[in-house]
């Protein structure tokens, strides 16, 4: 798939900006706090309806304005698609596909596929289990948009069940009422678990192959899904039974804590190198290699499932990879995956990155043409 055009109105620090992507690689060059990541964030929103930086739409709207609009024109195998997302300071979003307002935002997902890689992704290794659950969930949203609905349902049931358990402090719970919430928790939770199992089963071997390649056969990456509810098989019946058993086991603790302790909201995804948890690997380089392997695996998996190469968004990470890893990434991308890259300086790039690249300069929420003189200066070429 190819993103031809992006238009931002009142988005973050952009008042009004049209961006035409004219090459397989676009380098967004600019000083700090100019709007480079904001631009990638707009693409991320079109892809997942989420920003990994903020959760409130208010933060995305240009200060002093009441709404913000992201518009894009995308070419996919079966034709051209216009996407638009209207974000409001207060109130709900409006998502539009080919000028038609969608009743369900779910139908917006899976149209523009993108894999993002930023320094925040190092938290996949260093961060808490929640970070890894968010990561796998976001991948599922793109591949299987119905998952967004499933997860939302699970979270709704979880919230209601938690508020019921909290009441246990003041009154004896009605067993029938608790039973009914248990049933719903199990039904929705089972759907979440089954999909997580499936995606990790597919992703893990691809990531391992990449990791072995990048680390030159010295290290073996294992991605293991460790669900809170451990079933013998990935069948609804088996998960159902394990869920029932575990809820029974934890019932007293749940009531005394007033909180649901059983279910996929407590899942973990373990990353292990050889036999050591990746977190324990101190080296930033190793952590970066691991995340790079995961990102390459995401690209490959989305392409396999969707049947078209997704976009790749590289926020500030390229300059931090050594030249060998940069080139490995480059050989995967070729001109197949449209790639948007942000950087504060071109100097740290291998010159090969500039082939088939378009360079756009970002300055205070505006894209300004890059003069040859500026480019030469950037690259340290005089005359």
What minimum distance in Å lies between the beta carbon of 344 and Mg ion? Answer: 9
Interaction between residue 376 and ligand ATP (CB under 6 A): no
Q: Does 326 bind ligand ATP (CB under 6 A)?
A: no
CA distance 326 to 309: 19
> Could you tell which of ligand ATP, Mg ion, none binds residue 34, using a CB distance below 5 to 8 A set by kind?
ligand ATP
| Sequence-ordered strand ranges (E) for 32-123 | 67-76, 79-88, 94-97, 100-101, 114-118
Among Mg ion, ligand ATP, none, what does residue 162 contact (CB within 5–8 Å per kind)?
Answer: none
**Residue 289 binding partner per list Mg ion, ligand ATP, none, with a CB distance cut-off of 5 to 8 Å that depends on partner kind:** none
Radius of gyration of the chain (CA): 23
Contact letters (x/-) for ligand ATP, 9-48, by CB under 6 A? ---xx----------------x-xxxxxxx----------
DSSP 229-247: S--SSSSHHHHHHHHHHHH
Contact positions toward Mg ion, by CB under 5 A? 37
CB of 185 to Mg ion, least distance (A): 39
Rounded Cα–Cα distance for residues 204 and 196 (Å): 12
Place of tokens 């505006």: 366
Binding segment toward ligand ATP, per CB under 6 A, in 17-25, 55-63, 279-287, 298-306: 55-63
State how far Cα 245 lies from the chain centre. Answer: 33
Do residues 290 and 222 make contact, with C-beta atoms less than 8 angstroms apart?
Answer: no
Interacting residues of 295 by C-beta distance below 8 A, sequence separation 6+: 115, 117, 121, 312
- State which of positions 305-324 bind ligand ATP (CB under 6 A): 316
Please identify, using beta-carbon distances, which residue of 54 and 102 lies nearer to ligand ATP. Answer: 54
- Measured from the CB of residue 28, what is the shortest distance to ligand ATP in angstroms? 8
248 burial via Cβ count (<10 Å: 0-12, 13-18, 19+): exposed
Q: Does 52 bind ligand ATP (CB under 6 A)?
A: no
> Under the rule (CB under 6 A), what is the footprint of ligand ATP?
12-13, 30, 32-38, 59, 61-63, 316, 342, 344, 362
């Amino acid at each position: 798939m190819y993103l031809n055009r992006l238009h931002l109105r009142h988005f973050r620090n952009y008042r009004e900006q049209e961006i035409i992507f004219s090459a397989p690689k676009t380098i967004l060059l600019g000083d700090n706090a100019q709007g480079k990541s904001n631009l990638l964030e707009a693409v991320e929103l079109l892809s997942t309806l989420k920003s990994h930086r903020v959760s409130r739409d208010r933060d995305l709207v240009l200060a002093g304005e009441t709404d913000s609009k992201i518009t894009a024109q995308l070419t996919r195998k079966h034709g051209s698609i216009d996407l638009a997302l209207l974000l409001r300071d207060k109130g709900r979003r409006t998502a539009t596909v080919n000028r038609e307002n969608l009743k369900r935002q779910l139908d917006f997902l899976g149209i523009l596929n993108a894999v993002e890689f930023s320094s925040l992704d190092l938290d996949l290794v260093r961060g808490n289990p929640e970070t890894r659950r968010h990561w796998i969930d976001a991948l599922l949203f793109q591949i299987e948009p119905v998952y967004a609905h499933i997860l939302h349902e699970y979270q709704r049931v979880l919230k209601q069940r938690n508020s019921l358990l909290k009441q246990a402090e003041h009154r004896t719970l009605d067993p029938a009422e608790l039973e009914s919430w248990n049933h719903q928790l199990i039904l929705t939770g089972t759907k979440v678990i089954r999909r997580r199992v499936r995606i990790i089963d597919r992703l893990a071997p691809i990531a391992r192959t990449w990791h072995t390649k990048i680390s030159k056969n010295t290290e073996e990456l294992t991605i293991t899904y460790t669900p809170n509810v451990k079933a013998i098989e990935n069948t609804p019946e088996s998960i159902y039974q394990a869920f029932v058993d575990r809820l029974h086991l934890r019932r007293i603790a749940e009531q005394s804590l007033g909180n649901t302790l059983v279910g996929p909201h407590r899942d973990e995804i373990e990353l292990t190198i050889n036999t050591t948890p990746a977190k324990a690997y101190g080296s930033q380089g190793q952590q970066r290699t691991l995340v790079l392997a995961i990102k390459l695996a995401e690209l490959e998996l989305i392409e396999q499932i969707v049947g078209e190469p997704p976009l790749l968004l590289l926020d500030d990470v390229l300059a931090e990879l050594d030249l060998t890893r940069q080139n490995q990434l480059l050989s995967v991308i070729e001109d197949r995956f449209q790639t948007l890259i942000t950087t504060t300086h071109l100097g740290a790039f291998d010159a090969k990155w500039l082939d088939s690249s378009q360079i756009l300069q970002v300055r205070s929420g505006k894209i300004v043409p890059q003069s040859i003189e500026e480019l030469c200066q950037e690259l340290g070429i005089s005359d």
